[in-house]
A and B are shown apart, each in its own frame.
Chain A
Amino acid sequence: MIELENVAYSYGGAELLSELSLQLAPGSFHFLTGPSGAGKTTLLKLCYGALRPTAGQARIFGQDVRQMDRDAIAMSRRRIGVVHQDCAFLDHLPLNENVALPLTVSGEGFSQQDENLRELLAWVGLTERANALPPELSGGERQRAALARAVIMSPEVILADEPTGNVDWEMSQRLLQLLIELNRMGKTILIATHDLSLIRAAKSQVQARVLRIANRRITAAGADL
């Protein structure tokens, strides 16, 4: 679905990632780990076309990122759900409209899918908060809302950047369960996290591969995890 081949990325001359290859097969579950600043977020951005590799080739759904224009990137986002570390929302719109935003911008509208939206909010446990504005939400609620927004278009791939960064252990377990459920529904999942206990908790329930970024390269993490 998403392939990186000998990809390098440098911010103004300083190379952050190099000779990096990665393949996300349909239905696979990947963790991406590594020290802060190692390039986890950059790697995710390369996967959803927010950044273009400075060398090598990145393919999203078989299309070379370099040959995709801005509209093609936008269209591919409708098949990739992204959960950001800082989960940005439109602060002037209530939660349910924010969660339905991908439907709104794709021109589908969400009135006819109201039922879907309600189910989705119930699934992430935010039914009560449907009319709250994003600034009124707690960290965990924001993370779950971001996840709901990422999956409302029923994407094939879900990329999550530290989805449990700002929440307590219990909440991170709930979010993990949601992601594992999505994987069982056939979605491809890639989670960037530095939380090793989260990875351990997941490995007992799902066949997850763990990738580690260190020294600008990506390596398969050992069995110790």
Chain B
Amino acid sequence: MNLTLQTLRALARGDSAADRVVPPTGFTARLTLFVAAAMAFLAVFALALSLAAGRLATSWGNELARSSTVRISAPAGQLAAQTSAALRLLQQTPGIESARALSEAEQQALLEPWFGPDVPVDQLPVPQLIEVQETARGYDPAGLRLRLQAEVPGAVLDDHARWRKPLAQAASRLNLLGWGAALLIAAAVGAMVTLAANAALAANAQVIAVLRLVGATDNYIARAFVRRFALRALMGAAAGTALGVLAVMLMPSGGETSGFLTGLGFQGWHWGVPLLVPPLAGVVAFVATAVAARRVLAGLS
């Protein structure tokens, strides 16, 4: 790693003369720039996806985990009695902050989308719903279910876990996939720069031979290449990141009714995350070129 460290120090210093000893290469330079830009653009989307999925997983976990529903289906005569029994039981259960029976109007509002406004819902045997808010510590759903079964035979506890879990799981898996994609992109940038650097080193074999002949150390020769590729990757990635962020900003916002797709983007400090893409691309290119240059130079006489 000695070469890399020394090269890093020299790189920070900068050396225009060292840059000049390697001839400019128009076409491969543009290709490197382009690939770095494209990869950075993709990386921005992978990060946006990952962060949005992470947000979704957290918010589902938080909001839904804190509320449950108890549904009471009983013959019309017993409904009121069972509801008050269930409410009493719920209020005595540790871990439950509040329990509130929904009013008829609220239930009607809930059902309206399904039945339309004209159906006389109050004449249907609609089960009574009780909204349960948990404390931060939560309650034991299995224990509560047993007690409800014993005391309020018509009550069914729905703690949302059944359908919440797979969704939250999917969201966190999506988050993981996003980070995995970002990692793959970084690795692809490294591989691409290694190939480009190898090609440049091979194409400049005569330049390297001349430099060796006049007493250039491997560090000096490597620096000329490493600096060039690191800067190219940095600049390309900066352009790609800028375009990617712009594209994310231009995504149509869903506003109040935002779903998963319209929520794709950055929020708050997450806007800072894409700023890490260009320097990371530069570092990846730097390391890849330094390793390639060291390997090629060590094989020469």
User: Across the interface, which residues of B come within 8 angstroms of A50, CB to CB?
Assistant: 301
A77 touches B209 (CB 8 A): no
User: Across the interface, which residues of A come within 8 angstroms of B215, CB to CB?
Assistant: 74-78, 102, 105-106, 153
Q: Which of A86-134 contact B (CB under 8 A)?
A: 88-93, 97, 101-102, 104-107, 109
Using a Cβ–Cβ cut-off of 8 Å, how many residues does chain B contribute to the interface with A? 23
Q: A75-B215, A88-B206 are known contacts; what are 5 more A-B pairs with Cβ within 8 Å?
A: A70-B217, A74-B212, A88-B213, A102-B214, A105-B220
Question: A47-80 interface mask toward B, CB cutoff 8 Å, 1 = contact, 0 = none?
Answer: 0001100000000000000000011001111100
Interface positions of A (Cβ within 8 A of B):
50-51, 70-71, 74-78, 82, 84, 88-93, 97, 101-102, 104-107, 109, 149, 153
For B24, give the chain A residue with the smallest CB separation: A92
User: Across the interface, which residues of B come within 8 angstroms of A89, CB to CB?
Assistant: 210
- The interface-forming segment of B15-23, B89-97, B158-166, B225-233 is B15-23
Q: How far is the CA of A101 from the CA of B20 in the complex (A)?
A: 11
Between A90, A91, A92, A105, the greatest number of chain B beta carbons within 10 A of the residue's beta carbon is seen for: A105
Given A90-B23, A104-B17, A105-B220, check contact A77 B213 (CB 8 Å). Answer: yes
User: Across the interface, which residues of B come within 8 angstroms of A149, CB to CB?
Assistant: 214
Interface positions of B (Cβ within 8 A of A):
17-18, 20-21, 23-24, 206-207, 209-220, 297-298, 301
Q: How far is the CA of A101 from the CA of B210 in the complex (A)?
A: 9
B218 touches A77 (CB 8 A): no
B293 CB, min distance to chain A CBs, angstroms: 13
User: Across the interface, which residues of A come within 8 angstroms of B213, CB to CB?
Assistant: 77, 82, 84, 88
A98 CB, min distance to chain B CBs, angstroms: 8
B218 touches A74 (CB 8 A): yes
B299 CB, min distance to chain A CBs, angstroms: 11
User: Across the interface, which residues of B come within 8 angstroms of A75, CB to CB?
Assistant: 215, 217
For A45, give the chain B residue with the smallest CB separation: B301
Q: How far is the CA of A70 from the CA of B213 in the complex (A)?
A: 12
User: Across the interface, which residues of B come within 8 angstroms of A51, CB to CB?
Assistant: 301
Q: How far is the CA of A153 from the CA of B215 in the complex (A)?
A: 10
User: Across the interface, which residues of B come within 8 angstroms of A88, CB to CB?
Assistant: 206, 209-210, 213
Q: How far is the CA of A195 from the CA of B20 in the complex (A)?
A: 38
A223 CB, min distance to chain B CBs, angstroms: 35
Between A77, A90, A106, the greatest number of chain B beta carbons within 10 A of the residue's beta carbon is seen for: A90
A84 CB, min distance to chain B CBs, angstroms: 7
For A52, give the chain B residue with the smallest CB separation: B301
B21 touches A105 (CB 8 A): yes
A105 touches B216 (CB 8 A): yes
B210 touches A71 (CB 8 A): no
B201 CB, min distance to chain A CBs, angstroms: 15
User: Across the interface, which residues of A come within 8 angstroms of B17, CB to CB?
Assistant: 104, 109
For B212, give the chain A residue with the smallest CB separation: A74
